[in-house]
Chains A and B, each alone.
Chain A
Amino acid sequence: MNGSSFRGVMVYSENPSLLLELLAAGRGLADKLGAPLSAVLIGGEVGGERREEAIRHGADRVYVLENPRLADFNVETYKAALLRVVEAEPPEVLLIGGTKRGKELAPRVAAALETGCMTDCISLEVDEEGRLVGRRLTYGGSTVAEEVCLRKPQMATIPPRVYERPEPAERRGEVVALEVEVPEPRVRVVERKEKRRAGFRIEDAPVIVAGGRGIKKREDLKLLEELAEVLGARVGCTRPLAADYHWLEEWIGLSGHKVKPDLYIACGISGTIQHVAGIRDAKVIVAINSDEEAPIFNIADYGIVGDLYKVVPALTKALKEKLGK
């Protein structure tokens, strides 16, 4: 594709709420580039509300690709749809929502377009030369890399909850429907099973009380549960407690869930790089650990050096009194 023919910022996510967050990221970039922002909607049928919603949240143009074969997400068919839009309006920047599905789609599209893609960007900007610069975690989350994409379309994926969904406004936008030839998908879904996880996701918890190997027995998790109850919090843990001991199902960190609560209370957690990678975005971090040298204190806002078996119940009691519960 010819370098000068690329124009504008295009965003796509199969996840409707992430798409709105991408519109927030895309709006900033489009304004800086002085170029239009477009959103892509793909599906068997795409309702009118979704088109309106995209426009109200910042899209200047909405591309709609409808086809019975696009009713369910499939990498090959969705790739075909996305390539169709890129062909119609080659964008300078193409952002894809960093869900698992988005992250298997983006590199496949990037390979087809022979371009680069920066995975899981935590911030994106356009530099003086008009190039897309992304910041993303590397080395297991222990470092942040600043990268630039030198080919077009410049691609990046953005994980959920990095950008805030923009305020809706009454705006005008154009809706363009595109015909697309969809191949017969080769990968066939035989069965779908809902995860048996209790509906509420730890990523959405405003407060998290987390335990590490400082907790000696499974029964002792009760201490954390009691504290969580007064705080309206969820209980989380480090990997050994879930993966090795099976006390809980999910863990927090690099290979587990990445969370960003207002308050994170780490009890008996040493603060390894792999765990900290998952709590980097917490607003306030509290650490309770008996070892004053524990690295967790270097990344905490407030630390209590002490035995969690004494401090946690004391904290539960103090909170009960203060919050009148």
Chain B
Amino acid sequence: MVNVIVLIKDIVDLTEIKVDPRTQRPILAGLPRKISDVDKRAVEAAVQLKEKHGGKVAVLSLGDDKTRTALREALAMGCDEAYLLKDPAFEGSDTLATSRILAAAIRKIGEYDLILCGEMTLDSLSAQVGPRVAELLGLPQLTYVRSLDLKEGRVVAERDLEEEDEVVEAPMPAVVTVVREINEPRIPSLMSIMRASRKKIEEWDREALGLSEGEVGSAGSAVEILEVRAPKMERKKMIIEAETPEEAAERLVEKLMEEGVLR
């Protein structure tokens, strides 16, 4: 038996991002949202562990009303309970405050052997919440995990590092962050989607989590975002005009010689 808590974030669909040509700022309002790709795989990994060893899976997200859709999807994939952490006071939380809120909720749930997260979310690209939650709860962390199992009450994982792969094991409870290669998430059946739609999503706000105003939102954060813009790509954008591929190739070679990038 294993009790797993999965942390998911629903993020804007990155393939839909457009940049305002005038301000060079990304247009995010009105973009569809979905479970961050890697987090969906964390859900899949949790459900697979439950199917193999028995137990239950709770899914947890700090978000807003729209986040219910993501939580419902996780329920349809096989999670048993869903928790939405939602409060206007949570707005503007950076990873410091987010981790604090998530850790408080995990403590409130109380019963768990494993906490699963994504390696990072693709919107913030911060890759911090997993290790931070582990620190706040005083748990061992197993990061960049691409395969996961339990053996004699311990968690065993294969980690994907730069120069090497590492097989590690640790006592539970523990925090595990997964990489996208860990699995291919299932597509829930119509039946399970129907069943999930009838499940209750538990909602907790700041007070329910026993956190002070100074611990959450902008007040409880350390990093402030000053500006977000499309990166400058100062490129020459020169199209080589030529009659034939051979001619185009020759012109290009001349340009590359001028650039000094041929050796």
Question: Which residues of A does B touch, CB under 8 Å?
Answer: 75-76, 79, 99-101, 103-108, 110-112, 114-120, 133, 136-151, 186-195, 206-207, 231-232, 254-255, 262-263, 272-274, 276, 280, 283-286, 292, 297-307, 310-311, 314-315, 317-319, 322-323
Contacts and interface: CB of A to CB of B under 8 A. Distances in A.
B210 interface: no
B164 A139 contact: no
Contact of A315 (B14, B122, B123, B252): B252
Interface of B: 12, 14-15, 17, 19, 26, 94-96, 99, 120, 122-132, 134-136, 140-144, 156, 161-171, 174, 177, 180, 221-231, 233, 235-240, 242, 244-246, 248-250, 252-253, 255-257, 259, 261-263
Contact of A119 (B12, B15, B128): B128
10 contacts: A76-B140, A104-B141, A108-B132, A116-B95, A144-B231, A193-B164, A263-B256, A297-B237, A302-B255, A315-B253
A187 B164 contact: no
Contact of B99 (A111, A119, A292): A111
A50 B257 CA distance: 40
Contact of B261 (A119, A150, A283, A323): A283
Residue among B122, B142, B169, B245 with most chain A CB within 10 A = B245
Contacts of B96: 110-111, 114-116, 151
Given A107-B132, A273-B14, A120 B237 contact: no
A111 B132 contact: yes
A162 to B, nearest CB: 14
B126 A305 contact: no
Contacts of B161: 100-101
Contacts of A276: 233
Q: Is the interface of B mostly helix, strand, loop or mixed?
A: mixed
B238 A303 contact: yes
Nearest to A155: B222
A118 B245 CA distance: 47
Residue among A101, A139, A262 with most chain B CB within 10 A = A139
Contact of B248 (A114, A194, A306): A306
Contacts of B165: 192-193, 195
B249 A143 contact: no
Contact of B249 (A111, A117, A317): A317
Given A100-B144, A304-B252, A284 B226 contact: no
A116 B245 contact: no
Given A115-B222, A144-B231, A187-B142, 8 more contacts: A145-B225, A191-B166, A273-B17, A284-B256, A297-B237, A300-B235, A302-B252, A315-B249
Contacts of B249: 304, 311, 314-315, 317-319
B135 A108 contact: yes
A193 B158 CA distance: 10
A284 B259 contact: yes
Contacts of B228: 138-139, 143-146
Closest 8 CB pairs of A and B: A116-B222, A107-B128, A116-B223, A111-B135, A314-B249, A111-B132, A186-B140, A140-B14
B261 A140 contact: no
Contacts of A145: 225-228
Nearest to B223: A116
A285 B235 contact: yes
A187 B125 contact: no
B132 to A, nearest CB: 4
Contacts of B134: 108
B231 A297 contact: no
A75 B231 CA distance: 33
Contact of B223 (A147, A300, A305, A323): A147
A133 B180 contact: no
Contacts of A310: 245
B69 to A, nearest CB: 20
Contacts of B229: 143-144
Contacts of A107: 95, 127-132, 135
A189 B167 contact: yes
A119 B127 contact: yes
A266 to B, nearest CB: 12
